Amino acid sequence: MIETGAYDKDKAMEKVVDLLEEVQLPPEFADRYPHELSGGQRQRVAIARGIATNPRFVVLDEPTSALDVSVQAEILELLRELRETHKMAMLFITHNISVVSYMADRIYVMYAGKVMEKGPKAEVIRKPAHPYTQALISAVPEVGRQMRRVVLKGDVPSLVSPPKGCRFHPRCPVAIATCGWTADEVAEALRRVLEARYPELSQRARLRPLGELELEVKGLSASELKDVVERESEFNRALKSIQSVSEEGGRVMVRLTKYSEPRMVEVARGHLAACHLLSASS
């Protein structure tokens, strides 16, 4: 504040004291160093710095992470008070559904850099439409309500080389043929299935992706591969993308269904989600 010329030294100190009072810290904290403060106190100081210029819009990235539950509640209550007092908008970036439920008016659910679902808080939390949102909500227990936990398998993808189509499809428990499966993914899925359940076939099989939607298989007949796909596709979503299996010149060619990126579909007023299952039913 002094460096920008907005305040002289005395005025700047008055402003600091006012800001500390706003975040419910005593004036003597102005002379303290960060290592002398608790986690909750440091968070209050960070909030005070954030509102020092009277912004109309504030971005808060995981504002309650690494704090005790009781301290989290105090910080959230403080933020609500400041939001009302200063008439400011706040954007919360968080993995904590409880924080979202307490603070938000509207919710945007993102996965691997893409918006999966968006809408009013009550709609998204009570009636999640996207499989990823459903998995997130299922992880939050609710008193008096019996819920089935959706456990996601696999790892979060790399943003350097994200999945094709819907970015959630490799972990989606209800993924379909058009969600984004590529020859590399299907080849890996087939290798795992063959190694785990068909060791004799696994020893003979040689799989080679040819582009994004074609796969060459040597060492197996078309009928052997078709039999595996029919048996296992119910348990391995990647195999559902196989459109055809045919013998061509001493090799088996596997062709996949063309994929596309899902578009946003309105499931209720102002409530949208990007999922092929919703597009198919709309």
pLDDT in tens, 190-240: 999 999 999 999 999 999 999 999 999 999 999 999 999 999 999 999 999
Work out the pLDDT band at 4, boundaries 50, 70, 90: low
Burial string for 244-282 (b: 16+ CB within 10 Å, else e) reads ebeeeeeebbbbbbebeebeebebeeebbbbbbbbeeee
Q: How many domains does the chain have?
A: 3
pLDDT exceeds 70 at position 267: yes
Q: What range defines the domain where residue 162 resides?
A: 110-174+260-281
The amino acid at 257: T
Q: Is the distance from CB of 39 to CB of 66 less than 8 angstroms?
A: yes
Residues 237 and 271 in one domain: no
Residues 71 and 99 in one domain: yes
Residues 274 and 151 in one domain: yes
Residues 152 and 206 in one domain: no
Residues 95 and 15 in one domain: yes
The CA-based diameter of the chain, rounded to the nearest angstrom, is 87
Cα–Cα dist 32/25, whole Å:
12
Residues 100 and 124 in one domain: no
Domain final residue, candidates 77, 104, 131: 104
Q: Is the distance from CB of 78 to CB of 51 less than 8 angstroms?
A: no
Q: Could you tell me what percent of the chain has a pLDDT over 70?
A: 97
Cα–Cα dist 203/76, whole Å:
58
pLDDT exceeds 60 at position 5: no
Residues 25 and 76 in one domain: yes
Quote the pLDDT of residue 249.
84
- pTM of the full predicted structure? 0.88
Residue 3 lies in a domain: no
pLDDT exceeds 70 at position 181: yes
Average pLDDT over residues 246-257: 94
pLDDT exceeds 90 at position 280: no
Quote the pLDDT of residue 257.
97
Residue 156 lies in a domain: yes
